[in-house]
């Protein structure tokens, strides 16, 4: 049995009683990486020397304090678009292949304060643009359940590393489903917090009004531990919300009696596979048996979410990625004959096809003569989508549906069809547009033996209720105990 088969609270007790050491945990992580990384390819950079030194330092603290934080000494992986001081941060892009940041993201500082150990930086779709991890500028990550399949994206490395047992938990980022969809594909738990709940300072921006950092773990309780550590207002992030962070663990009561669940008909309709639909209906039956009630509702503007999202996110990306020009940091082209040529050559050589596609789409949407027709219109539709959620939440506590329309697809199957690939996020995107929290928890396996995810969506800053429902469902089922065999 791996040490990573234990929960955070169990490992905390073992460390406290000196049954195991931090050095043991870190050694376990690198041992597992050595065994499976050539198959999974979840990591872009490993920080073994520093991690082992940090483990030794933390072991020296054991027994010298009455209390340690619950994350004390635990190994974590960090998505490669979250900056880490002195540890290469590439966003899985060739344009940042040599970038070593000079500061830590706020979430990284908080993890250091909690005395976790960073094992390395995790693979992703380049600049978080993609749903399969095939858009990485370096290598595709594979799904631990079947390495012929994608792990989802853009936080594919974050989800795959946890599913494969390489780290206990990881951080991802979610712009349109990039935590929840790979969590569903890899059979783990992934939360996108409310926009503003977790600081974005030090997260390399894709779409600033949508991006949110969140935790990926094996269980709901572990997820709550990790969010507790990273949530909170940050003076370095103007979009971080000055809202108190509750005790998430106290919400894990297992009690959902009287809970009112809304099930949008749009989330079980056209485009959603039968397996995904049936797994949600089965999950609702479980929650119903525990005293919750559910009704079908409508989120009528959901059908416009995909077009709205790709216009807004691409517009923001075209502005955010303008800074990568070969002048200040990152890779610089050697073939330029002038300043303009330097910009052109660097960006042509450094960015991948998907990033270029979105920059061009965004630049077009923001250009003179098209701004009102596309960008402004998309912002107006975003407001309608947000209003749909608020209307449903007047009467219901949570919204439930599938995380993704199906199980994971094969590597290479959709890479040449961007529109089909984009449609894969149809169930997660509305949550980002509305800024509300959403979690994906395992809810079964498809006929191909790959995991299915249940998505639970809550009101603004009500992660506690989301966790309560997710935990109750998890405790009533055994889906979270199923693991891939590598």
With bands split at pLDDT 50, 70 and 90, how would you rate the model's confidence at 423? Answer: confident
> Which pLDDT value is given to residue 59?
94
pLDDT digits (tens, 9 = 90+) for 33-47: 999 999 999 999 999
Q: Which residues pair with 295 in a beta bridge?
A: 262
Dist. CA 52–CA 225, nearest whole Å: 23
Using the predicted structure, report yes or no on whether residue 104 has a pLDDT greater than 80: yes
> Which pLDDT value is given to residue 414?
86
Dist. CA 151–CA 164, nearest whole Å: 11
Is the previous residue joined to 154 through a cis bond, with omega within 30 degrees of 0?
yes
> Which pLDDT value is given to residue 97?
96
Dist. CA 450–CA 421, nearest whole Å: 18
With bands split at pLDDT 50, 70 and 90, how would you rate the model's confidence at 339? Answer: very high
Using the predicted structure, report yes or no on whether residue 189 has a pLDDT greater than 90: yes
Catalytic residue IDs: 79, 154, 178
Dist. CA 183–CA 470, nearest whole Å: 14
Using the predicted structure, report yes or no on whether residue 365 has a pLDDT greater than 80: yes
Dist. CA 182–CA 156, nearest whole Å: 6
Q: Is the pTM of this model over 0.85?
A: yes
Instruction: Give all strands (DSSP E) within 372-437, no chain letters.
Output: 398-402
Q: Region 457-481: what's the mean pLDDT?
A: 97
Q: What percent of the chain lies above the pLDDT cut of 70?
A: 99
Dist. CA 297–CA 391, nearest whole Å: 10
Dist. CA 447–CA 424, nearest whole Å: 19
With bands split at pLDDT 50, 70 and 90, how would you rate the model's confidence at 63? Answer: confident
> Which pLDDT value is given to residue 67?
67
Using the predicted structure, report yes or no on whether residue 65 has a pLDDT greater than 80: no
Element (H, E) at 464: helix 463-476
Q: What percent of the chain lies above the pLDDT cut of 90?
A: 92
| DSSP notation for 128-178 | G--SSSTT-SS----BTTBTTB---SSSHHHHHHHHTTSSSEEEEEESSST
End-to-end Cα separation, the chain, in angstroms = 14
pLDDT digits (tens, 9 = 90+) for 386-420: 999 999 999 999 999 999 999 999 999 988 877 77
Using the predicted structure, report yes or no on whether residue 111 has a pLDDT greater than 70: yes
- The DSSP code for 188 is -
pLDDT digits (tens, 9 = 90+) for 284-301: 999 999 999 999 999 999
With bands split at pLDDT 50, 70 and 90, how would you rate the model's confidence at 68? Answer: confident
User: Residues 6 or more apart from 474 whose CB is under 8 A from it?
Assistant: 189, 219, 220, 441, 480
Q: Region 116-120: what's the mean pLDDT?
A: 98
With bands split at pLDDT 50, 70 and 90, how would you rate the model's confidence at 133? Answer: very high
CB-based contact 191:223 (threshold 8 Å):
yes
pLDDT digits (tens, 9 = 90+) for 235-271: 999 999 999 999 999 999 999 999 999 999 999 988 8
**CA distances in angstroms from 414 to 99, 158, 326, 409, listed in the order given:** 31, 21, 32, 8
């Amino acid at each position: 049995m791996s040490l990573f088969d234990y929960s955070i609270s169990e490992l905390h007790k073992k460390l406290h009683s000196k049954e195991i050491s931090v050095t043991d945990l870190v050694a376990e992580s690198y041992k597992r990486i050595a065994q499976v990384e050539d198959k999974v390819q979840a990591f872009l950079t490993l920080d073994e020397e520093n991690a082992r030194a940090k483990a030794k330092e933390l072991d020296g603290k054991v027994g010298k304090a009455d209390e340690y934080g619950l994350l004390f000494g635990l190994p974590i992986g960090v998505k490669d678009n979250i900056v880490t001081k002195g540890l290469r941060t590439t966003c899985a892009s060739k344009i940042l292949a040599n970038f070593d940041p000079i500061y830590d993201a706020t979430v990284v500082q908080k993890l250091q304060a909690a005395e976790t150990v960073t094992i390395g930086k995790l693979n992703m779709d380049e600049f978080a643009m993609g749903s399969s991890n095939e858009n990485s500028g370096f290598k595709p990550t594979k799904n631990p359940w079947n390495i012929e399949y994608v792990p989802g994206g853009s936080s594919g490395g974050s989800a795959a590393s946890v599913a494969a047992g390489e780290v206990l938990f990881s951080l991802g980022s979610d712009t349109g489903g990039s935590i929840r969809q790979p969590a569903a594909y890899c059979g783990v738990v992934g939360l996108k917090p409310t926009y503003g709940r977790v600081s974005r300072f030090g997260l390399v921006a894709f779409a600033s009004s949508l991006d949110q950092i969140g935790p990926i773990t094996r269980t709901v309780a572990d997820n709550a531990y990790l969010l507790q550590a990273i949530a909170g207002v940050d003076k370095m992030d103007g979009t971080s919300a000055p809202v108190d962070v509750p005790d998430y663990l106290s919400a894990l009561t297992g009690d959902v009696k009287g809970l009112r669940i809304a099930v949008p008909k749009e989330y079980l309709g056209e485009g959603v596979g039968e397996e995904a639909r049936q797994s949600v209906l089965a999950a609702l039956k479980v929650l119903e048996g525990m005293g919750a009630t559910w009704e079908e509702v409508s989120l009528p503007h959901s059908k416009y979410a995909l077009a709205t999202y790709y216009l807004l996110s691409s517009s923001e990306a075209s502005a955010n990625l303008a800074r990568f020009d070969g002048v200040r940091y990152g890779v610089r082209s050697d073939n330029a004959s002038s300043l303009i040529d330097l910009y052109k050559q660097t960006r042509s050589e450094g960015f991948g096809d998907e990033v270029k596609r979105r920059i061009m789409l965004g630049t077009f949407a923001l250009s003179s003569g098209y701004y009102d027709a596309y960008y402004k219109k998309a912002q107006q539709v975003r407001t309608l989508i947000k209003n749909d959620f608020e209307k449903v939440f007047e009467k219901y506590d949570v919204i439930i549906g599938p995380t993704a329309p199906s199980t994971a697809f094969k590597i290479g199957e959709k890479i040449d069809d961007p529109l089909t690939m984009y449609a894969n996020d149809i169930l997660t995107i509305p949550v980002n547009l509305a800024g509300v929290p959403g979690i994906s928890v395992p809810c079964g396996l498809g006929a191909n033996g790959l995991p299915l995810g249940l998505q639970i969506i809550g009101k603004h800053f009500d992660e506690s209720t989301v966790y309560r429902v997710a935990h109750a469902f998890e405790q009533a089922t055994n889906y979270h105990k199923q693991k891939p065999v590598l």
